[in-house]
Amino acid sequence: MQRIPLISQEQQQRIALRNQPDTTRLWQILDAVKDPEIPALSIWDLGVLQDIEVSNDGVLVIITPTYSGCPAMDTIADDIRAALAAAAISPVRVRTRLAPAWTTDWLSAKGREQLRSYGIAPPEQSGADELTPDSGISCPHCGSVQTRRISEFGSTACKALFRCNDCSEPFDYFKKI
């Protein structure tokens, strides 16, 4: 009998890192750090927060941008330092890791729901790799798939702008990467 994983191997590895007893408190502190562009979403649930290493030299936090050149990364690094400093944890270094490149597969299930609740359609998990004007992306407001792409780019480069044909609301779609 073949087992079908419910989450990707990368997600399993991220969760295993999070469950290390010597870093549990640090993960909990950093759960409060939100993405500055989507404040309903933690950097963990977005998949940007990759690893925490503790050594005699202090704490090293490793983050991966959603795309190269993401302008939010400096703010995220500052917010990480501030959150850990507020908990009297120092010294702290934040390193940006570009490889492997971030993927929407790293979004947690909770993160996908948080996006939807915030009014952003989460990336489709099956078959919507190439967006066409009538891709049938689910509207985060009413759930209809009668939607149409208005623009390849939404409020940020990682999103496209759609409009629902049923409820007439515009919404961002977080592109599948």
Q: Quickly state the pLDDT bin for 155 (edges 50, 70, 90).
A: confident
Give mean pLDDT, residues 27-32.
95
Lowest mean pLDDT across 20-24, 37-41, 128-132: 128-132
Distance in angstroms (rounded) separating the CA atoms of residues 157 and 159: 5
Q: Per the structure block, which two tokens stand in for 148?
A: 């149409």
- Alpha carbon of residue 102 to chain centroid: 9
Among 21-25, 67-71, 160-164, which range has the highest average pLDDT? 160-164
Q: Quickly state the pLDDT bin for 128 (edges 50, 70, 90).
A: very low
Identify the sign of the CA torsion 35, 40, 44, 47: negative
Q: What is the pLDDT of residue 7?
A: 63
* CATH code reported for the domain at 9-106: 3.30.300.130
Q: Which of 42, 176, 39, 177 is nearest to 121 (CA)?
A: 176
Ranges of each domain in the chain: 9-106, 120-174
Model pTM score? 0.82
DSSP reduced 3-state for 31: coil
Does residue 5 surpass a pLDDT of 70?
no
Interval 78-123: pLDDT, tens: 999 999 999 999 999 999 999 989 989 889 989 999 999 999 999 9
DSSP state string for 101-122 = PP-GGGS-HHHHHHHHHHTEEP
Contact between 150 and 170 under an 8 Å Cβ cutoff? The reply is: yes
